[in-house]
Amino acid sequence: MKSALRFLTLSLLTLTWCVLLSTVLVVGACSTGIGKDIGASGPLPGSTAGGKPVGLFFFVSSSDFNNQRTYYFTPAGQVYVDPTDFSAVALAAVPPGQHGSYAVNGKQMTIKWANGSTTAGNYHADESGFSCEGSFMCVAPLASAKQLAGTFEGHNAAVSVNANSLAAFRTLTLKPDGTFTRDNFTASHSESRHSDKSSFNTDAASTGPQQAGRWKLDGWYLTLTDAQGTARGVAFRTDWDEKTDQTKIFRFNGTSYKNTNL
């Protein structure tokens, strides 16, 4: 779809446009100005109108595709990275290295973080998002639960230490009747080296018990409830089928889920 294509175009432009210009220390703390920016129904949709980003954006680093984050820019000039909720209390609890104030002047964007550091880079925007040290895609809440029905596979980035790695995968099926099932799968790889320069590799996998429960989409928020409890968080899609409007990829609680049938 056009928005997804423009986002991919921004990803390519990032390699040329976005350069880290400076990291310096600054004195003083950032003012909060939080409460008036947050509505009861969730964050503002992402927009680049008005010459600066406002609302929720999905970020992918230009140097590391696995570095994917959620940024929230408020109209008052505050920025938050990976907030778990958007109430004034939750935003105030975001760590100093993940929140600060931001400004766009011409083609330069500057963020003064609350931990005392400043980053600045080239800013290039269109209606789908902007690029600055990576690609920022405007995101919005889903219009209906039907758009999210399907079977999805999500996984975290593999954690590697030397020749060893660990990755966690999960399958999530959201059914049109409001029920869901999910499975968890963990894979590991380890390599042992010996004094004679030989090596021994070990691969292991484990599967957790299937969980079942009910799901609900309410504006921005997806809620999963099963015997283990309730998981709730902002859900938004980053790719979808233009003809059917079904979701190809969506983001929920720090994990990207890909539709296994699209």
What pLDDT, in 10s, does the model give residues 21-79? 333 323 232 333 444 444 456 899 999 999 999 999 999 998 888 889 999 999 999 99
Q: End of a domain among 78, 108, 138? A: 138
pLDDT at 91: 94
Sequence-distant (6+) residues with CB within 8 A of 9 are none
Q: End of a domain among 138, 162, 191? A: 138
Q: End of a domain among 85, 118, 138? A: 138
Give the CA-trace dihedral at 18, 24, 26, 31, to 10 degrees.
20
Same domain for 184 and 131: no
Angle in degrees, CA 204, 229, 165, rounded to 5: 20
pLDDT at 163: 46
pLDDT in tens, 193-226: 556 555 555 555 555 678 899 999 999 999 999 9
Residue range(s) defining the domain that contains residue 126: 2-138
Closest CA to 46 of 59, 32, 36: 59
pTM of the prediction? Answer: 0.75
Q: Using CB atoms within 10 A of its CB, is residue 206 exposed (0-12), middle (13-18) or buried (19+)?
A: exposed
148: left (phi over 0), alpha (psi -120 to 50) or beta: alpha
